[in-house]
Every structure is written in C-alpha cells, then in structure tokens.
C-alpha cells in the first residue's frame, strides 16, 4: 500500500507543477478550439446540404459545382488539421511530455 500512496503523491505533485500545467495548457489550447472549429465547419457543410441546395448546385467549372468543391474542401481541411496537429504535438508537446515522464519514472523507481 505504501508504494501506491507514494505513487499517488508523485502524480499529484507533478499535476501541480508549472511545467505540467504548461503542457496541459498547450495541449488543450490547441485541440479544444480546433475541435470546435472543425465540427462547426462540418456542421455548416451539412446545413448547407440541407437548406442551401440552390447554392450547392451552382456550377463553377463545367459540371463541378459548389457542393462538390465544399465536400472536397472537407477532405483538404481534414488532411491539413491532422498534419498541423502532428507538427504541433511533435514540436510543442512531445519534448515536455518526454521530460516529465523521465522525471516521474525516476521518482517512482
């Protein structure tokens, strides 16, 4: 039981540390607004598909209409957000996470 209590206090200690709070902030400040943004963008697309059909049917080039372009842009935005997240995680999150992990592992050995 003593080791468990010891572990718990290590985790609580870490949770309160400014470095961990910084990691948490960096993670949430990027992912939470981005989630709201891509869900809103997706919902906008679905709403347009339901209520703005004349607009979606407007042809831009040949038979390629706004609906198709907006749909393809959903693919593009998904690929870009995925790529941007992985860059953010590699540059801003992984180094801190690795460092903190080593710290905790040293203490709980």
**Residues that bind other proteins in the complex, under the rule CB under 8 A:** 7-9, 11-12, 14-15, 20, 23-24, 27, 31, 34-35, 38-39, 42-43, 45-47, 49-51, 53, 56-57, 61-65, 67-68, 71, 74-75, 78-79, 81-83, 85-86, 89, 94, 97-98, 100-101, 104-105, 108
CA separation for the pair 14, 28 (Å, rounded)? 18
Cβ at position 41, least distance to other proteins in Å = 8
Neighbours of 1 (CB within 10 A): 5
Q: C-beta of 18: minimal distance to other proteins in Å?
A: 14
Assign 3-state DSSP to the chain and report helix, strand, coil percentages, each to 5: 90, 5, 5
Q: Are 19 and 26 in contact (CB under 8 A)?
A: no
Comparison of 2 and 7: residue with beta carbon closer to other proteins: 7
């Amino acid at each position: 039981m003593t080791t468990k209590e010891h572990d718990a206090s290590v985790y609580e200690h870490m949770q309160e540390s400014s470095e961990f709070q910084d990691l948490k902030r960096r993670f949430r400040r990027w992912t939470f607004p981005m989630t709201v943004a891509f869900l809103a963008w997706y919902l906008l697309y679905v709403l347009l598909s339901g209520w703005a059909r004349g607009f979606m049917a407007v042809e831009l080039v040949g038979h390629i209409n706004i609906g198709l372009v907006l749909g393809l842009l959903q693919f593009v935005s998904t690929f870009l957000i995925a790529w941007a997240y992985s860059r953010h995680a590699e540059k801003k999150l992984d180094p801190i996470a690795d460092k903190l992990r080593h710290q905790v592992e040293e203490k709980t050995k």
